[in-house]
Amino acid sequence: MPEPRRDDARTAEAPRRAALVTLGCARNEVDSEELAGRLAGSGWELVDADGDAPADVIVVNTCGFVEQAKKDSIDTLLAASDAAQGTGAKVVAVGCLAERYGAELAESLPEADAVLGFDAYPDLAERLADVIGGHAPAPHAPVDRRTLLPLTPVERPAAAADVAVPGHAWVTGLSISGPGRTRLSDGPVAPLKLASGCDRRCAFCAIPSFRGAFVSRAPDDVVAEAAWLGMQGVRELMLVSENSTSYGKDLPGGTRALVRLLPRLANVPGIDRVRLSYLQPAEMRPDLVQVIATTPGVAPYFDLSFQHASPAVLRRMRRFGSREDFLALCAQIRTHAPEAGIRSNVIVGFPGETEADLVELEAFLTGARLDAVGVFGYSDEDGTEAEGYDGKLPAEEVAARVARISALVDELMAQRAEDRVGTEVEVLVEAAEDEDFECTGRAAHQAPEVDGECVFERGSGLEVGDMVRAVVVGTEGADLLVSAREPLPRSQIATGDLARAGAARVSG
């Protein structure tokens, strides 16, 4: 075995070094930045896993959502272990895969020096120090996290103080030493967590069992963190949770809390665009549709989890709706904002899905004119209701249906993009032009990573973080080719005391 590399510049008094590697969704990004804040607040130095300064420990924030995500997480842990052979670094698994499988993951993956669940997050610095010292804690023992909080949502806020809820600790770190979140990127877009957990019981989804019952963050806490992000150079907030339409169900104002919160966030200094994600169609109310579609500073963007359009399949999924219901919702949205962006995900090959069900889904997709659609083939997930269903389709048939719907979706998304030629869009630049790539960014109807993007003409001279008004001049699939017209000024950035720049500064 090669001898671990030594860093001669370090002394006994030098801080421990940790590298954080994040997999999965934007919710995990928030969790990683909270962990980074905890470590930085405890005197640790944060380094890049691929940087010149070797880490003492590599923390991999895993994803445990679907089979491919699990594989990617395990591959990343193995790659981190291989890299650590030359430095002596320890490798620690955290996140959803670690929470979901705990000791089972530790037994099957000895390359990880420790497997820590969510309950370890508040004391992460101490736990990592133990691992470095050769005293790794016992592997996490998974539990159904829905059992940790009261069944009734209104009773949860007080009880949640005694349960680790990742991504909710920012305000508890708001003190003289600064916030409890440390940004791990300097881009102009940042995710901001509204809530954690989910009370829905979709037959195909295991997330509630390891993320727990639904818990909203207090509105003032969300606004305070938004103000801090604005001071860090963020121009767009991406509001995330497992189910954003349930926000406020466990707060005094009820679900109307989200309708009141969005305008507050749109008025936060430095923030020019607020984007809401993870919406349940069955929970969309007319007042919420209107506030998203018409509030200045809120992107008219609807990330709606349709999953299917056949009533029979939806009922087996433990969901609600139909092609007619979903088309009516799309029409309602476009009544308020004709150019609104609407995206969704669908699952094909669900147990019992017939040819008629698939035709019903095709009819919905054709009529809905969605801007972006993710197509997933059904596969069993451990511990879900659907795992025990009859009517399972052969893997090759599921793959054929994925290919069929994907081909339709690609055609429809390209047509929807072509509909936008000649229209004006406001684009936030996220990648500057270089010798190999054009300058790119996103319009209001395009979310990070999951949707198309806007591509500027060469020689635009734009920089990352610029917001510009542009005209759509062409398309490439779901991507828009745009020509810049004029820059848009940034809203005034708050200065002074962080707490004043937060909730107290933006009135409710």
Q: Which residues are annotated as part of the binding site?
A: 25, 63, 96, 198, 202, 205
* Eight-state DSSP code of residue 298: B
- Which residue, chain included where needed, has tokens 């000895």? 110
Tokens of 257: 């809390």
Q: What is d(CA 172, CA 165) in angstroms, rounded to the nearest whole number? A: 12
Residue 295: Cβ-neighbour burial (10 angstroms; 0-12, 13-18, 19+): middle
Conformational region of residue 267, where left means phi above 0, alpha means psi within -120 to 50, and beta covers everything else: alpha
CB 283 within 8 A of CB 323: no
Binding positions for [4Fe-4S] cluster are 25, 63, 96, 198, 202, 205
Q: What is d(CA 26, CA 190) in angstroms, rounded to the nearest whole number? A: 9
| ∠ CA 198-204-207, rounded to 5° | 35
DSSP string, 309-353: --HHHHHHTT----HHHHHHHHHHHHHH-TT-EEEEEEEES-TT-
Handedness of CA 65, 68, 71, 73 (dihedral sign): negative
Q: What is d(CA 74, CA 77) in angstroms, rounded to the nearest whole number? A: 5
Q: What is d(CA 189, CA 136) in angstroms, rounded to the nearest whole number? A: 36
How many Cα atoms are found within 13 Å in the side-chain-facing hemisphere of 507?
0
CB 286 within 8 A of CB 325: no
Q: What is d(CA 152, CA 416) in angstroms, rounded to the nearest whole number? A: 43
Q: 454: Cβ–Cβ under 8 A, 6 or more apart, which residues? A: 425, 427, 440, 441, 442, 443, 446, 470, 472, 479, 480, 481, 482
- Phi and psi, residue 380, nearest 5°: -65, 140
Report the SS3 class of residue 502: coil
Helix, strand, coil shares of the chain as percentages rounded to 5? 40, 20, 45
Burial pattern 67-97, b for ≥16 Cβ within 10 A else e, equals eebbebbbebbebbbebbeebebbbbbbbbb
Amino acid identity for residue 152 in this structure: T
